[in-house]
Structure formats: C-alpha cells, structure tokens
A and B are shown apart, each in its own frame.
Chain A
Amino acid sequence: MANTFELISSVTVGSGGAASIDFTSIPATYTDLCLVFSLRSSDGSDYCGLKFNNSSSSFSSRQIYGNGSGAGSTTRSNNDLTGSQTPSVYTSNVFSNNAIYIPNYTGSANKSYSRDSVFENNGTNAIQTLEAGIWSNTSAINQVTLVHPSATFVQYSTATLYGVSNA
C-alpha cells in the first residue's frame, strides 16, 4: 500500500527557545505540502510570521475567526498568521494547534494555502482562525519558515512538514 503522506522533517524546540523554525531544501518530489505545528510564545504574541523561500513579501489573506463571544473576518496584506501561537500569559503548558495545506507547491502558479488554527485557554480570548492565503509568487517553494514576531517559541513547540504525493 502506498504511503503518500510522508514525513519530510520535524522540529521540536529545545530549552533555549527558538526565534524561528526553518525547513530548508524541501524536495520537489511531492504534489502538496502539509505543515502541522504547535506553538507557545515566550511573550504576549498570539501570532507568528510565515515565509516561503525566505520571503515575507507578497502574502495576502482572508481570515475568519471566532473567539468565544463573536465571529468576524479580516483581510491581511502581510504574512502574519493570527492566532497561531499561545501567548505566555495563558494557561501553562498550553500550546496552539495549526495546520497549513499548500497544494501544488512546485507549480508555476501563485501559491495558495489553507490554514486552520486554534488555541484554547480555559478562559477568555481563545481563538479559532480559518485562513485562505496566497503567496503571489510563481517560484517553487523550497523553504518554509515560521518566524516569531518579537521573541521566541518556547521549549516543546513543534513543527512537522509532510509531503503528499498523488502518485
């Protein structure tokens, strides 16, 4: 039986924390990519940045979110992934959960992606976010990076990159 959901690489942040998590030299042999990550911040940030091929430009997105008291929708013209990490002041040992699916990451079209993110806090201001994002660049993606905006991802934050093949 074919196994087409293959591990490319996985990172667990060590005791010193990490300002970024970087997947480089991503092989072009898959059809799609799926990045699954669980993060907690060392400061009050509840979002992180996304880079493709070390570029933070040409990103835009529509987002829909719910925070337990209401729902809304926003447009973003940058690479910030809202609600993608748990702030340090929230319940201890709680990490966010996120999945980004990137179809046709080696194709010649602009790269669209789908993101689902949640963090829960057993209290106020927990957030769930769904995002339709696009990187307006026709280059094949060979590097994916999660970037903390102001501090570090704490120990035990994880990110795993899978490759999905259609054959």
Chain B
Amino acid sequence: MASTYTPIATTTLGSAAASYTFTSIPSTYTDLVLVFSGTLSSADYVCMRVGNGSIDTGSNYSHTDLSGNGTSASSSRSSNATYFFTAPMNTNQNNMIINFQNYSNTTTNKTALLRWNTPLTDGGATGVVGAEVALWRSTSAINQIRVLTYAGQNFNTGSTFTLYGIQAA
C-alpha cells in the first residue's frame, strides 16, 4: 500500500444536499481516491462531473459499466455524456470508491475506475453492485470534482465524502 495516502478534504453533511464539490484540489499528487458513504432521500443515480477552474457540464464524458442486480449481469455504456459516470443508489447505506489516475497531467485525457455498491433494502427489492470505467476528454488537470444526483434527490445528513491523494514518490 502506498505510504502517501493523504487526506485532501473530507466532509460529513450537516444537512441534506443534492451535490458536494471538492475545489482547489492540489496538483501535487499522482492519483486521487474518492470515497463516498451515505444514503439518498430516494432512489436516484449518483453522478459526477469534474473540471479545471470550473465544472465541465458539456458532453465531454463517456463511461462503460458492468453491473449485477442479483438476477443477471449486464453492461452498458454512454458516449458524449454530460456526466463522468452514473451509479444507481438508494436510501440504504451506499458506498463507492473512485480511483483517478494521473489526474493532474496536462497531456492526456483523464480516466477513472469506479466501484459502486448499493446494498439491499430491507425488502430486498433493490440492490446493485457495479464497476465502471470513465473518461473525461480533456487534457486539463482535474482540480474540481462534483458529486451530484441525476434527478435532484438529496444526499442525506451524515453522508460522507473524502478525497485522498496518492503519490508515486
């Protein structure tokens, strides 16, 4: 394990919110890891956008996912999307872990690997496990990351967002 797993920023929501944004992310690390743990006010997709100086809301993203709902496995993708990824989540205790590789270079487009986990509700009616690869077609360094919901549902109070930096040397 890297010995430079350094917390950059963390928040625990004191009130419900439909998004959370990390700003002024330093460029001094090699990779980033974002960890989310929390619940939604109602089932929705959790999404992400990134940017440099401002959040990119354009159609500059694409992503491919692999998911299982307890019955079958499936895969889908989206090109020229307006979100870095979309992950279905619900009112139960969800979590996701996202790895951004080489996020601060100004030569290549930016990619990320995502694992998202939407555990079963009490009735077992929902619950999805998934993995996703995501691309932001920009050579700009990432210094802002916004996590938001697709349909405007809230992240409930107590949900946590933490961003770590990892250095290769």
Give A contacts to B, CB under 8 Å.
Answer: 1-5, 31-32, 60-66, 71-75, 77, 101, 103-104, 107, 109-114, 116, 130-134, 136, 162, 164-167
Q: Tell me, rounded to whole Å, the shortest Cβ–Cβ distance linking B38 to chain A.
A: 8
Interface of B is mostly: strand
Could you tell me the distance in whole angstroms from the C-beta of B164 to the nearest C-beta in chain A?
7
B124: which A residues are within 8 A, CB to CB? 60, 75, 77
* Bound Cα distance from A50 to B55, whole angstroms: 41
Chain B residues with a Cβ closer than 8 Å to the other chain, count: 44
| A75 touching B97, Cβ below 8 Å | no
Q: How far, in whole Å, are A111 and B93 apart by their CA atoms in the complex?
A: 7
Cβ-defined contact, A109 with B158, below 8 A? yes
What residues of A have a CB within 8 angstroms of the CB of B4 in the complex? 1, 3
List 5 interface pairs A-B (beta carbons < 8 Å), by A numbering.
A3-B3, A4-B6, A32-B37, A60-B120, A134-B93
Besides A73-B129, A101-B35, A112-B92, 19 new A-B residue pairs in contact (Cβ under 8 A), listed by A number: A1-B167, A2-B7, A4-B6, A5-B3, A5-B5, A31-B160, A31-B162, A60-B120, A60-B127, A62-B69, A73-B68, A74-B70, A77-B124, A103-B95, A110-B93, A112-B93, A130-B66, A132-B127, A166-B10
Residue with the highest number of chain A CB atoms closer than 10 Å, among B68, B69, B162: B68
A64–B120 CB distance below 8 A: no
